[in-house]
C-alpha cells in the first residue's frame, strides 16, 4: 500500500484535491453568506458581494494546504533520501559519501521511473522497496497534514463570515500580495543569478587547483578541458574580436536602414520592409549558426585561400580554417541588424519635427538635415542602441559554438578559428558534469565575468535612453 | 543697402550639383543597407530550403517475402526478420553468396534496425499466414544520398558487340570484341576521359563488371554482381559501359555496392517514398531512421511548462507594477532590474538553471520541467514589458469611470482594464513563447542535449527540444545529417513564422485607437 503511494505521481495527488477543496469552499461561502441572519449585525446589507465571501473562504482553505504541499515538495525528497541513507548497511557506507550518494541517486531515479521489476541485485532491490515505502509514508503524512490544514483554514474562515464582514478587502489584499510576489520573482531571478554565479566563482578561486583571480583575468594560457591553465585573456580577446566584426556589419547596415525607413521610405514600403527586418530577429540563433557553418564559413575559407594564392601575399598569410571568426562575426552582425535598426528608428522618430523643418527651411538638402541636425540630436539614443547590440553580441552563444571553433588563440587573423567566453561555457558544462571539479566551476567564473560586462553595457545604455527620453518628452 | 555678394553662377551650380549628388549617394546607402539585410534573409531561407528538400524523401528497398518462409509472421523479432531478408537478398543475388566480403557489401545497403517499423507494424496487425509479405526498408544513409545525388553523374555509352568471354582467375575475365574493331571508339573515349579518376562499369547481359584494364582490343574485367553469362562466344551481344564519375577512394560506397544498386534499381526493387520517419520516429544514431517526434513532443512539454509559469507570473507582475505599485525606491529597483534582465545573455539563465535547479534543488537533468522553468525565467521580462505597454495603452478614463461608479481598485483593473489590454498582452506572450521555442544555449547547460530515443510522455521524462536537436544533428559526422538538420530547421521556422503571424493578426484585429 505504502509502496503504491510511493510510486504515484505526487503532483496530481496534491493539485486535484486542492482545486476541488477550493471550488467547494467558494460555492459554500457564496451561498452561506446569503442565508446569514440579519439581526446580529449593524446594517442589513452585505458589506461585500457573495462572490467575495466565496473567494475569501476558498483562499482560507487553499493557502494553508498549499503551504503544506510546497513544504513537502521542498523537503520531502531530501528527508526520504536522508532516512534511506541512515538505513544502508555499513559496508556500503564505508565506501565513502560519494558512493552512497550515487547509490541513493540510482535508487531514487529507479523508483521515479515507475518500474517495479527486480534487477537481481538484492541490496538494490531492497533499497528500492524501502525507498518507495519511506516515500509513501512521507506522502501520507504530507497529504494528511494538507487535509488538516485545509479543514482548519475552512472552519476558521467560516467563523468570520457575517453580513458586515469585509470579505472583499481581505480578498483584494491577498490579490495585491500575490501580484507583488509575482513582481518580486523578477528580482529573485537576478538575486539567484548573482548569488549562484558569485558562490560558484568563489568556490572556483578557492579550490586547490583553481587559479588566482589575477591569473584568471590576465593569464594568456587557457586549457580548461585537459590541463589546468585558466588564463582567460584569449577568450576575452576572441569574444571582443567577434563582437567587433559583428558590429562592423550591424552598425552601418542597421543605422542606414533605420535612416532610410524613417526619413525616405514611403509608408507602403516601410510597412513591408520593417516586418521583414524584424523577422531577422525572430530567427533562432541555432539556425543562424547552421547557416554560418554550412554556407558562410566555406565561403570565407575559399576567400582566404584565394588571398593566400595571390602573388604578393606570403604563403600562409591567412589561416583559412573551416570555421572562422569572420564567418561567425558576419552572421552575428546580420542577426543584430534589427536590434540596431529598430532602436535607432525609435530615437530618430522621436527627434521633434520642427528641428528637421528648421534645417530644411534654411536650405539644407534632406541628407544634410539628417547628418547635421537629426543624427546629432539622436546620437545619445543611437549610442545606447549600439551598446545594447554590443552586449547582445558578447552574450551570443549558438553562432560561435557552431561557426567559430574552440581554439584559445590570440590572433588578429579573422579567418582563424578563435574561441569565446560563451563557447567555453557551453563546452565545459555540456554532458555529464559534477559540480565540484574546477573545470566545471571555471564555467561559472566565465559566466560571472560575462554577466558583469553585459550588465555594465546594459545599465549605461538604459540610463542613456532614459535621459534621452526625458530630454524630448 | 549693399547687394549680398553671390558666387558666380557656375560655382553655385557646381556646388549644388555636388550637394545633390551627396543627397543621392546618401539615399543609395540606405537602399543598399536594406537590400543587404533582405537579400541575406532570402539567401538564408533559400540555402536552408535547398538543403532540406532531399531529406523529405527517402529510398526504400522493397522485398517480397513469401509468408511460408517465416515461421510466425505475427511474432517476428528484429533478428529473425533480418535473417529472412538476408536470405531473400541472397536468392536474388546468388553470385554474391560465396565470399564474405561480397555478402557484407550486399547486407550493408540496409541497416539492421531498418526492419523495426515493419516488426512493430506486424505486431499490431493480424498475422499473415499465406501469400507474401511486402517489406519496405529504409536504405542506409550513404546509399540514400548516392541515389539522390551522385547517381546523376553516371554516364552510359555503348561499347560495341561482345565477342569471347574467358575466365582468367576467380572473378577475373577477359572480354574480346566481336571483330570489326568494335571496341576501338570506346578506347578512344577512355583515352579522352583518362584525366578523370573514376571507376568504369561494364554491363553484359544482366551482369556488371568493373573495368580493370585493357589488353589490345580486349577488356580485362572483374565481376561485381549479376549472373555471369556462359563463357565462350557471346554472339555479338551489346556491351555497355557506365562511367561512375567518382572513384572508390572518395565515395562512401564500394564499386560492388554501386553495381548492386544499379541492378536493384533496374529490377524495380528500390522505390523513393516520403520520409515519414522524420516525423514519427524518435532520435537514432542512424540518420535514415532518426526522426524529430521526440523533440517535437519535448518542445510541446517544455513550452507548456514555460507558458504555465511565465504567462501568469509575467502578467500579474505587470499589473502590479503598472496599476498597484506606489512610486517608491523598491518599485524603481524592480523596474530597472526587469529592463536589465531582458538584456542578460540567455546562456546566463542556463548557468542559473544548472546551479539552482540541478545543483541546489537536485532536480534531474534533461527534463522539460527544468527546461521550461529556465525558459520561463528567460522570457519573463519580455512578457512583463509587453504586458505593461498593453496596460498603459488603456486610457486612464476607463479606470476613472469604473472607480467613479464605485468599483474598487482591483475591480476596476480586473473587470475593465485587463480585458481591454488582453489582445496586446496575448501578442506579447506569443512573441515571447516564440523566442523560448527557438532558444538553445540555456538548455544545453541543463543537459537537454542527452540522447533520447523514446518519445517523452510527461514533463518529468528525459527529453530534448527542436533547437537542441538541430544542434545535435548538425554536430553529427555523417553527411546525411545535414539535409535532415535543414529539414528540422524548416519545420521549426514554419512553426515560429506561424506564431508570429498569429501575433501580427491579433494585433491588427484588436488594434484600437482610444
- Which of A114-128, B201-215, B268-282, B344-358 is predicted with the least confidence, judged by mean pLDDT? A114-128
Do B20 and A395 count as a contact with CB atoms less than 8 A apart?
Answer: no
Which stretches within B161-215 are classed as H helix? 184-192
pLDDT at B250 over 60: yes
Which chain A residues are within 8 Å of B324, Cβ to Cβ?
176, 179-180
- Domain-ending residue, one of A165, A200, A233: A165
Number of Cβ atoms within 10 Å of the Cβ of B269: 17
Q: Are A238 and A382 within one domain?
A: yes
Note whether B368 and B463 are within 8 A (CB): yes
HSE, CB side, 13 Å, CA atoms: give it for residue A456.
6
For residue A200, being part of any structural domain is answered with no
Q: Which residue has the cell 537602399?
A: B31
Question: What's the Rg (C-alpha) of chain B?
Answer: 35
Q: How much is the pLDDT for A12? A: 67
Domain count, chain A: 2
Mean pLDDT (chain B, rounded): 85
CA distance B318 to B315: 5
Q: How much is the pLDDT for A7? A: 61
The answer to whether residue A104 neighbours chain B at the CB level (below 8 Å) is no
For residue A430, being part of any structural domain is answered with yes
B293-510 topology per CATH: MetI-like fold (1.10.3720)
pLDDT at B8 over 80: no
Number of Cβ atoms within 10 Å of the Cβ of A411: 16
Note whether A127 and A107 are within 8 A (CB): yes
Q: Which residue has the cell 520561463?
A: B376
Going by pLDDT thresholds of 50, 70 and 90, the confidence category of residue B4 is: low
Q: How far is CA A164 from CA A38, A53, B247, B407, in A?
A: 10, 11, 94, 18
Q: How much is the pLDDT for A11? A: 67
Q: How much is the pLDDT for B130? A: 62
Q: Which residue has the cell 485545509?
A: A150
Mutate to test the interface with A, among B343, B449, B456, B492 (most CBs of A within 10 A): B343
CA distance A374 to A350: 10
Of A200, A252, A391, nearest to B355 by CB-CB distance is: A200
- Mean pLDDT score, B134-152: 85
Q: How far is CA B22 from the centre of its chain?
A: 47
**Domains of chain B by residue range:** 56-139, 148-272, 293-510
Note whether B166 and B123 are within 8 A (CB): no
For residue A170, being part of any structural domain is answered with no
Q: Are A398 and A275 within one domain?
A: yes
- What is the tens place of the pLDDT at every residue in B449-471? 878 878 888 887 888 999 999 99
Q: Which residue has the cell 509575467?
A: B314
Q: Are A375 and A280 within one domain?
A: yes
Q: How far is CA A70 from CA A67, A219, B265, B314, in A?
A: 5, 47, 64, 21
Number of Cβ atoms within 10 Å of the Cβ of B329: 7
Of A257, A275, A402, nearest to B37 by CB-CB distance is: A257
Q: How far is CA A86 from CA A72, A82, A122, B405, in A?
A: 20, 6, 18, 65
CATH number of the CATH domain containing A396? 1.10.3720.10
CA distance A359 to A364: 6
The listed range with the strongest mean pLDDT (A208-212, A401-405, B383-387, B510-514) is B383-387
Of B341, B439, B440, nearest to A189 by CB-CB distance is: B341
Cα dihedral across residues A185, A187, A190, A193: positive or negative: negative
Which chain B residues are within 8 Å of A402, Cβ to Cβ?
471, 474
- Name the grid cell of B405: 461608479
CA distance B390 to B319: 10
pTM: 0.86
CA-nearest residue to B40 within chain A is A334
The answer to whether residue B458 neighbours chain A at the CB level (below 8 Å) is yes
CA distance A395 to A246: 12
Packing angle of the helix pair A267-282, B481-510 (nearest 10 deg): 130
Q: Which residue has the cell 554472339?
A: B235
Closest CA to B53 of B270, B275, B271, B261: B275
Closest CA to B140 of B117, B112, B109: B109
Interfacial A residues in 8-37 facing B (CB < 8 Å):
9
Helix (H) or strand (E) segment spanning residue B218: strand B218-225
Q: Is B326 helix (H, G, I), strand (E, B) or coil?
A: coil
Domain with A329, as residue range(s), is 214-472
Q: Is B172 helix (H, G, I), strand (E, B) or coil?
A: strand
Burial B133-171 (b: 16+ CB within 10 A, else e): bebebbbbbbbbbbbbebeeeeeeeebbbbbebeeeeeb
- What is the tens place of the pLDDT at every residue in B289-342? 888 999 999 999 999 999 999 999 999 999 999 999 888 888 888 888 898 898
Do A257 and B381 count as a contact with CB atoms less than 8 A apart?
Answer: no
Residue A152 burial by CB count (10 A; 0-12/13-18/19+): exposed, middle or buried?
middle
The answer to whether residue A443 neighbours chain B at the CB level (below 8 Å) is yes
Q: Are A153 and A265 within one domain?
A: no
Going by pLDDT thresholds of 50, 70 and 90, the confidence category of residue B30 is: very high
CA distance A110 to A126: 12
CA distance A427 to A418: 14
First to last CA, chain B: 57
- Name the grid cell of A456: 555594465
- Name the grid cell of B55: 531529406
Closest CA to A336 of B40, B426, B453: B40
Do A397 and B320 count as a contact with CB atoms less than 8 A apart?
Answer: no
Q: Are A157 and A277 within one domain?
A: no
- DSSP type of residue B454: S
ipTM above 0.90, yes or no: no
CA distance A441 to A459: 27
Residues ≥6 apart with Cβ < 8 Å to A14: A69, A72, A73, A142, A143, A146
- What is the tens place of the pLDDT at every residue in B165-191? 888 888 888 888 777 666 777 777 777
Higher-scoring residue by pLDDT: A154, B77: A154
Spell out the per-residue pLDDT of chain A, length 473, in tens. Answer: 566 666 666 666 677 778 888 888 888 888 887 676 655 555 557 777 888 888 888 888 888 888 888 888 778 878 888 888 888 887 877 777 777 877 887 787 777 666 666 677 778 888 888 888 888 888 888 888 888 998 899 888 888 887 778 888 898 999 999 999 998 888 889 999 999 999 989 988 888 777 788 888 888 888 877 767 888 899 999 999 999 999 999 999 999 999 999 999 999 998 889 888 888 988 999 999 999 999 999 999 999 999 888 888 787 788 888 889 999 999 999 999 999 998 899 889 888 899 999 999 999 999 999 999 999 989 888 999 999 999 999 999 999 999 988 888 888 888 888 899 999 999 888 765 666 777 888 889 999 999 999 999 988 988 887 777 666 65
Which chain A residues are within 8 Å of B380, Cβ to Cβ?
185-186, 189
For residue A81, being part of any structural domain is answered with yes
Q: How much is the pLDDT for A5? A: 63
Amino acid at each position: 500500500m505504502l509502496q503504491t503511494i510511493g510510486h504515484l505521481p505526487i503532483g496530481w495527488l496534491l493539485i486535484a484535491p486542492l482545486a476541488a477543496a477550493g471550488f467547494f469552499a467558494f460555492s459554500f461561502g457564496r451561498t452561506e453568506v446569503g442565508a446569514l441572519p440579519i439581526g446580529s449585525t449593524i446594517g442589513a446589507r452585505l458589506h461585500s458581494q457573495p462572490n467575495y465571501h466565496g473567494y475569501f473562504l476558498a483562499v482560507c482553505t487553499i493557502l494553508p494546504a498549499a503551504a503544506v504541499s510546497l513544504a513537502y515538495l521542498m523537503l520531502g525528497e531530501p528527508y526520504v533520501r536522508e532516512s534511506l541513507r541512515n538505513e544502508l548497511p555499513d559496508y556500503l557506507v564505508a565506501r565513502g559519501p560519494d558512493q552512497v550518494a550515487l547509490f541513493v541517486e540510482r535508487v531514487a531515479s529507479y523508483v521515479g521511473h515507475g518500474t517495479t521489476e527486480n534487477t537481481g541485485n538484492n541490496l538494490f532491490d531492497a533499497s528500492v522497496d524501502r525507498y518507495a515505502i519511506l516515500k509513501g509514508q512521507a506522502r501520507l503524512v504530507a497529504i494528511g497534514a494538507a487535509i488538516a490544514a485545509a479543514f482548519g483554514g475552512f472552519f476558521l474562515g467560516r467563523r468570520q463570515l457575517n453580513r458586515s464582514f469585509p470579505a472583499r478587502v481581505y480578498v483584494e489584499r491577498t490579490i495585491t500580495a500575490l501580484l507583488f510576489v509575482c513582481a518580486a520573482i523578477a528580482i529573485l531571478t537576478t538575486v539567484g543569478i548573482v548569488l549562484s554565479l558569485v558562490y560558484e566563482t568563489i568556490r572556483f578561486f578557492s579550490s586547490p587547483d583553481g587559479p588566482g583571480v589575477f591569473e584568471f583575468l590576465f593569464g594568456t594560457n587557457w586549457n580548461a578541458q585537459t590541463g589546468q591553465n585558466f588564463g582567460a585573456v584569449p577568450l576575452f580577446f576572441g569574444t571582443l574580436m567577434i563582437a567587433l566584426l559583428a558590429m562592423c556589419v550591424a552598425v552601418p547596415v542597421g543605422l542606414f536602414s533605420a535612416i532610410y525607413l524613417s526619413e525616405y521610405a514611403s509608408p507602403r514600403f516601410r510597412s513591408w520592409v520593417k516586418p521583414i527586418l524584424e523577422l531577422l530577429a525572430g530567427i533562432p540563433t541555432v539556425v543562424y549558426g547552421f547557416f554560418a557553418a554550412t554556407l558562410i564559413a566555406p565561403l570565407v575559407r575559399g576567400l582566404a585561400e584565394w588571398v593566400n594564392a595571390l602573388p604578393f601575399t606570403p604563403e600562409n598569410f591567412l589561416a583559412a580554417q573551416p570555421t572562422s571568426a569572420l564567418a561567425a562575426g558576419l552572421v552575428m552582425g546580420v542577426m543584430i541588424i534589427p536590434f540596431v535598426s529598430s532602436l535607432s528608428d525609435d530615437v530618430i522618430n522621436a527627434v521633434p519635427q520642427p528641428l528637421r523643418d528648421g534645417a530644411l527651411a534654411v536650405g539644407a538638402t534632406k541628407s544634410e538635415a539628417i547628418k547635421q541636425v537629426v543624427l546629432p540630436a539622436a546620437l545619445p539614443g543611437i549610442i545606447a542602441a549600439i551598446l545594447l547590440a554590443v552586449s547582445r553580441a558578447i552574450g551570443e552563444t549558438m553562432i560561435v559554438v557552431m561557426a567559430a571553433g574552440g581554439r584559445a588563440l590570440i590572433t588578429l587573423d579573422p579567418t582563424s578559428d578563435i574561441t569565446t567566453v560563451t563557447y567555453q561555457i557551453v563546452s565545459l558544462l555540456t554532458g555529464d558534469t559534477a559540480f565540484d571539479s574546477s573545470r566545471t566551476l571555471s564555467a561559472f567564473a566565465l559566466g560571472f565575468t560575462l554577466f558583469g560586462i553585459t550588465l555594465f553595457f546594459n545599465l549605461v545604455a538604459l540610463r542613456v535612453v532614459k535621459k534621452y527620453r526625458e530630454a524630448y518628452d | 543697402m549693399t547687394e549680398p555678394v553671390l558666387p558666380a553662377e557656375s560655382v553655385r551650380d557646381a556646388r549644388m550639383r555636388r550637394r545633390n549628388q551627396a543627397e543621392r549617394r546618401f539615399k543609395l546607402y540606405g537602399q543598399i543597407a536594406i537590400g543587404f539585410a533582405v537579400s541575406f534573409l532570402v539567401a538564408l531561407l533559400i540555402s536552408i530550403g535547398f538543403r532540406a528538400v532531399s531529406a523529405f524523401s527517402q529510398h526504400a528497398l522493397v522485398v517480397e517475402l513469401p509468408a511460408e518462409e517465416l515461421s510466425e509472421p505475427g511474432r517476428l523479432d528484429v533478428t529473425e526478420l533480418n535473417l529472412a531478408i538476408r536470405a531473400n537478398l541472397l536468392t536474388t543475388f546468388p553470385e554474391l553468396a560465396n565470399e564474405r566480403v561480397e555478402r557484407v557489401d550486399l547486407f550493408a545497403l540496409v541497416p539492421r534496425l531498418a526492419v523495426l517499423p515493419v516488426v512493430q507494424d506486424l505486431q499490431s496487425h493480424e498475422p499473415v499466414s499465406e501469400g507474401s509479405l511486402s517489406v519496405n526498408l529504409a536504405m542506409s544513409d550513404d546509399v540514400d544520398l548516392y541515389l539522390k545525388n551522385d547517381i546523376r553523374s553516371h554516364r552510359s555509352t555503348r561499347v560495341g558487340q561482345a565477342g569471347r568471354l574467358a575466365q582468367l582467375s576467380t572473378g577475373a575475365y577477359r572480354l574480346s570484341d566481336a571483330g570489326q574493331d568494335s571496341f576501338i571508339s570506346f578506347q578512344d573515349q577512355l583515352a579522352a576521359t583518362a584525366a578523370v579518376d573514376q571507376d568504369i562499369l561494364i554491363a553484359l547481359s544482366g551482369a556488371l563488371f568493373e573495368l580493370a584494364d585493357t589488353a589490345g582490343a580486349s577488356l580485362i574485367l572483374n565481376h561485381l554482381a549479376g549472373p555471369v553469362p556462359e563463357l565462350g562466344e557471346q554472339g555479338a551481344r551489346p556491351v555497355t559501359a557506365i562511367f561512375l564519375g567518382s572513384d572508390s577512394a572518395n565515395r562512401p560506397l564500394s564499386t560492388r555496392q554501386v553495381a548492386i544498386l544499379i541492378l536493384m534499381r533496374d529490377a524495380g526493387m528500390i522505390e523513393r517514398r516520403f520520409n515519414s520517419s522524420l516525423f514519427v520516429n524518435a532520435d537514432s544514431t542512424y540518420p535514415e531512421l532518426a526522426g524529430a517526434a521526440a523533440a517535437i513532443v519535448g518542445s510541446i512539454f517544455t513550452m507548456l511548462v514555460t507558458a504555465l509559469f511565465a504567462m501568469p507570473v509575467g502578467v500579474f507582475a505587470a499589473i502590479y507594477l503598472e496599476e498597484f505599485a506606489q512610486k517608491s525606491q523598491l518599485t524603481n529597483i524592480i523596474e530597472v532590474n526587469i529592463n536589465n534582465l531582458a538584456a542578460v545573455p540567455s546562456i546566463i539563465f542556463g548557468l542559473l538553471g544548472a546551479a539552482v535547479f540541478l545543483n541546489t534543488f537536485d532536480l534531474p537533468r534533461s527534463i522539460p520541467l527544468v527546461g521550461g522553468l529556465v525558459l520561463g525565467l528567460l522570457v519573463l521580462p519580455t512578457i512583463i514589458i509587453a504586458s505593461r505597454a498593453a496596460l498603459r495603452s488603456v486610457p486612464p478614463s476607463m479606470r476613472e469611470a469604473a472607480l467613479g461608479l464605485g468599483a474598487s481598485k482591483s475591480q476596476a483593473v480586473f473587470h475593465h482594464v485587463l480585458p481591454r489590454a488582453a489582445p496586446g498582452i496575448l501578442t506579447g506572450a506569443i512573441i515571447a513563447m516564440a523566442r523560448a521555442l527557438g532558444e538553445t544555449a540555456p538548455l544545453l547547460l541543463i543537459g537537454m542535449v542527452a540522447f533520447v530515443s523514446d518519445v517523452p510522455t510527461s514533463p518529468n521524462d528525459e527529453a530534448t527540444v527542436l533547437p537542441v536537436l538541430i544542434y545535435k544533428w548538425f554536430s553529427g559526422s555523417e553527411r546525411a545529417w545535414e539535409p535532415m538538420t535543414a529539414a528540422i530547421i524548416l519545420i521549426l521556422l514554419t512553426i515560429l513564422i506561424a506564431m508570429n503571424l498569429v501575433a501580427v493578426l491579433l494585433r491588427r484585429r484588436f488594434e484600437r485607437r482610444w
